[in-house]
Structure formats: C-alpha cells, structure tokens
Structure 1
Amino acid sequence: MNTVFPPTPTVTVPVVGTTALFPVHRIYCVGRNYVEHAQEMGHTGREPPFFFMKPADAVLVASPGTSTPLPYPGLTQNLHHEMELVVAIGKGGKNIAVAQAEQHIFGYAVGLDMTRRDLQNAMKAQGRPWCIGKGFDHSAPIGPITPKDAAGDITHASISLQVNNVVRQNSTVEQLIWNIAETIAQLSTAWELQPGDLIYTGTPAGVGAVVPGDTLKGSISGLTGIELKVV
C-alpha cells in the first residue's frame, strides 16, 4: 500500500491469560448511567441512554503491578476521574436484541473516563459539543481485558476507585441504570458495532478532581485492577 506517510499503528490492549492483543476500533461511552451519579450531576430518573465517543488513541494501557503515568492535560484546572466497567466487543452487529447482546461480548476491563470538567461545563453552557472535555489524549485509561468466560458474574461485581488510598467511588455494576445488554442493544441501533469496540458503561457517584502527584487505584471484582500516577 502506497501511503503518503506511515500509518499510525493500531491501538491494542493486552488480554489476560494470553499473549494476544485486542485491537481497538472505536470507544463509546455512556453518559449518566448510575442513578446517584446522575443525581450528583443534576439529573434524575431513568432517562433514555445517550452516548459520546473518544478517539481510539485516547487509550492509555495501565500495566499490572506498576503505577502507570497519567499525564495531566492542558487547558484544564479541573480534571475529574470517572471509574467505569469497560465492555470489549468481539462480534459486531446492528440492531442487536437485548437477549442476544451477551453473544457479542469478548470480555471486560477496568477503565477510567477522564474528564476536563471545566471545559465540558463551559461547552454545555454555550450549547456546543464537549469533545474537548472528553476526547483528549490519554483520556481513556484501561487495564488488561479479561475474557468473558473468566470474568465471573460481572453483573454483580463491585466497582471502586481510591485516590491516595481514600475511597472516592464505591458501587456495584448492578446499579447501572441501563445494564450491559440493554446498553449494547441501544448502541447498536445508532452504530453498527464492530469487533474491537470498547464501551465505557458509565460511572458511579463520587467523581472528583485529581492533581499531579495523586495516585488512582481502580478495581472491579473479577478483573485486573489499575493504578495510575497523575504527572
């Protein structure tokens, strides 16, 4: 293939228990998908799900057993953590039925939807797109992907985040407003899902700011946790 410059390498995420890598196609994120988080953001009820996207190269792979550097981005004074369960899609599809959604899942991972909250809020106030608040470099930290059959009962898994060893977020996956299968089904009506898609399923209450020097530790029962150092 004759290209005008070398193509950017495909972003990949390690898979637990194998040397294989999971190639990332797209990153979809679900907004306000835990009741208490929706309330802390000024909303209530089971509103229809809405989605936003991050570029694939926003992925920052957190290596197990180390504290992975997380660069503090420019243009913000209010960088927030949002701890999330990530669903990795292994089989594509469009207009997927809720009952069939699990067949499309390859595995699960621990992830963070990092957010430049001040920029997001400013864009919201002006009625403008808030990609600048969500889709910046290194805004999608993720741990290794655990294949579905090795992850246990993910629907009842605990999910938590500590900052400097103090618990900030603590909930369970069953508290999702739109569960994993419903999210996949809804998402597949708007986009044809592809193998390699990552779905960040939403964050529990307790989101807050981090600053350089902070250490973040995210965990979901049954999955490999992540540790990040804001630099």
Structure 2
Amino acid sequence: MSSFVTVGRKIVAIGRNYRDHALELGNKIPTAPFFFLKPTSSYVTPPNPIEIPGGCTVHHEVELGVVIGKDGRNIAASQAWDYVSGYTLALDLTARNMQDDAKKKGLPWSASKGFDTFTPIGAFLEKSSIPDPHQVRLWCDVDGTSRQDGWTSDMMFQIPQLIEHVSSIMALQTGDLLLTGTPKGVGPIGVGQTIRAGLGFKSPDGKYQDLSTMEFPVIAKPGNFYYRGS
C-alpha cells in the first residue's frame, strides 16, 4: 500500500499513548485509547518543507504510523494484524498554543492539528520489514540536537488494541493511517530550522539499524493566516 498518501481517506491519531509524554504536558494518563482525526491534506513528503503558521508555536511529535491494508469494521484484536499492510515514519505536528486554547474552551483540536504540512511522512515500509513493531526506536532531532528518542515498547495500548478500539467506532479503510502516539521530548520548531526523524530496530545480533529516515526544512506558511490567540 505504497500509495496510502494518495488513496487513504483519513488519518487516525492516538493521543497520549506514552505515559511520559502525557506527563510532560501535564495531561492525565488515559485508562482507554482515545483518538482524533487529521485531514489527509496535511501530508507532506520530503523534500517539501514544513510550514509554520503565523502566531503559532508548533511542536514536533515523532510517531510510528500503521498503514491499513483492507477495509474492516469491529475488528477483533486477535485479527488486527490481518488488516495491517505496513508502516511508515511520521511526525504529528501541533500548533500547541492553539491546542491549549481549544482545550481550555472544551473545543476540538482540528485546527491545531490539521494545517497543511502538519503530517510529514516517510516512505512506506512493508509489514515484513519490521519483525516487531512494538520494539521500534523513534527519534527526532532539530538542527542536529536530539529532541526525542524512545521505543514503541513504551506504548500503553498496543497496535491490535488500537485497531480494535478505533474500528469499533468507525470503519478503517484501505490506505488509512493510524498514528500510534509519541514518546516524550516534544518541543518547538521554528522557521529556518531543519528537522530530522528516524525509525529503526535492533537485529537479532544486537546491532541497531535505521530502517527509515526523513528530513524537512521549516519555512513560514504563505498567506494571510495569523493566530492571535483567544
């Protein structure tokens, strides 16, 4: 499903799936999975740039993306892997000040998560290329300084449980992307910076290898949008 960026109908993003990330933002630890939606128009691929909207404090969140390979509803966790086509490296970008204002008012996060270029995405990875998606390293650096470096083994809710939960609410369709949460270390990116991210794992002989990396320049969003707060 290498064409998921163009054929997928939605991006389903799991929130607060890493305990330390939830705590670093002062959020409560969830007792069950929860998610929000991002538009597929937010995809951006290298070497295209990430755009920072005026007045927004934008944070990076590196994630393992799960690409759905066939349509399904009410998928049992025991059958979830049958619906996985592969994986991808992703960044879930957040206009944090917009999100904080929305949370205070009890409003949706759609605007803070849905700007154009707010889902930078890497290459499609066949399911067979990752022996265990719960033993994957995710890292992110900005201008060469490490920001995030964690392992998917720290997920509170694993991929089969996430697929079961989401598909009990809405159908998962071919090409959809499931973002599985981010480890601690999220932080701001600004115009003129370069963000790099990677995904990898240890081989049976104990050697680490990056399976996917991506790099994006950061520029100002064109147009007349400027967020002035609430």
TM-score between the two structures when normalised by the length of structure 1: 0.86
Native 8 Å contact 1:109 1:223 kept in 2: no
Matches within 5 A, 1:145-164: 145-164=124-143
Number of residue pairs matched? Answer: 208
Native 8 Å contact 1:70 1:138 kept in 2: yes
Does residue 189 (structure 1) correspond to residue 173 (structure 2)? The answer is: no
Matches within 5 A, 1:4-83: 15=2, 21-22=3-4, 23-62=7-46, 67-76=47-56, 78-83=57-62
- Deviating beyond 6 angstroms after TM superposition, the runs of 4 or more aligned structure 1 residues are none
Native 8 Å contact 1:106 1:147 kept in 2: yes
Following superposition, the deviation at residue 189 of structure 1 comes to: 0.7
- The residue type equivalent to 2:14 in the other structure is V
Give the match for residue 10 of structure 1: none
Matches within 5 A, 1:85-104: 85-104=64-83
Distance 1:123 1:201 in 2: 22
| Cα 1:44–1:123 shift into 2, 3 Å | closer
- 2:110 corresponds, among 126, 131, 134, to 131
Following superposition, the deviation at residue 27 of structure 1 comes to: 0.6
Give the match for residue 84 of structure 2: 105
Question: Secondary structure at the residue paired with 2:160?
Answer: helix
Question: Secondary structure at the residue paired with 1:25?
Answer: coil
Q: Percent identity?
A: 37
Question: Secondary structure at the residue paired with 1:204?
Answer: coil
Does residue 204 (structure 1) correspond to residue 188 (structure 2)? The answer is: no
- The residue type equivalent to 1:102 in the other structure is W
Give the match for residue 226 of structure 1: 214
Instruction: Give the gaps of 5 or more residues in structure 2.
Output: 201-209, 220-230
TM-score between the two structures when normalised by the length of structure 2: 0.86
Native 8 Å contact 1:30 1:49 kept in 2: yes
Q: In the TM superposition, what whole-angstrom CA distance separates every residue of 1:39-69 from its partner, at most 9, and x where no partner exists?
A: 112134452111100111111122xxxx541
